[in-house]
Amino acid sequence: MATREAFLDKVRQAQPPSRPRPEVPLFDAPGGDLRVRFTAALQAMGGTCVQAVSATDVSGLIRERFGAEASVASATTEVPGTRALTADTEPASLQDIDVGVVRARFGVAETGSVWFSEREYVVNALGYIVQHLIVLLDPAQLIDGLQDVYRRDDFRDARYAALVTGPSATADIEGVLIRGAQGVRSLTVVWLAAQ
């Protein structure tokens, strides 16, 4: 057995027995329109929301904001990309992509977050290595708060999950806010009903 496999075998054997997850309490929701709350929370974190009638609008938005020559990797068939994206795509090959497009499974009004798993991203690096991320979100797929996430079957069934709120940012050096320091420089949520 290879050294790597021997090491992994020891780790697997040393795992503690499984136990049920703790019950997550449901807190009182503040009320109000979920879409309005989501938009306000996302904007506070540096993201933006726009409305689209069709996927064609999204392609136009990309050209308008990032230019006709922008390279696009799309994890959804709704919006075509200029670069093919499959499960076999090498993550590092996305390093020169200008715009990534992905459909979020749902959004969280409390925080302005969008939820992705390995199924939505296709290649996990898509959400972190591209310059700008365009997120398609069906307004009917908004939930109230983070405690609601843990009750969803898709959360429990995912091998990998990420709640993303706005673009990457840091202000730890002299208190200067820098966007895109460790990830995407901009995040735009496009309200678009799922097909």
Put the strands of the sheet holding 161-164 in their side by side order.
Answer: 142-143, 106-108, 113-117, 161-164
Say whether pLDDT at 1 is over 70.
Answer: no
Q: What is the mean pLDDT of the chain?
A: 90
What does the CA dihedral 24, 162, 48, 194 come to, rounded to 10 degrees?
Answer: -90
Distance of alpha carbon 192 from alpha carbon 195, whole angstroms: 9
Task: Classify domain 33-191 at the CATH topology level.
Answer: Rossmann fold (3.40.50)
Query: Can you tell me the mean pLDDT for 160-174?
Result: 83
Query: Can you tell me the mean pLDDT for 11-36?
Result: 85
* Contact predicate 168/179, CB 8 Å: yes
The lowest-confidence range among 49-53, 71-75, 183-187 is 183-187
The lowest-confidence range among 9-13, 24-28, 126-130 is 24-28
Distance of alpha carbon 68 from alpha carbon 82, whole angstroms: 11
Say whether pLDDT at 19 is over 90.
Answer: no
Say whether pLDDT at 102 is over 90.
Answer: yes
How much of the chain exceeds pLDDT 90, in percent? 62
Distance of alpha carbon 76 from alpha carbon 66, whole angstroms: 19
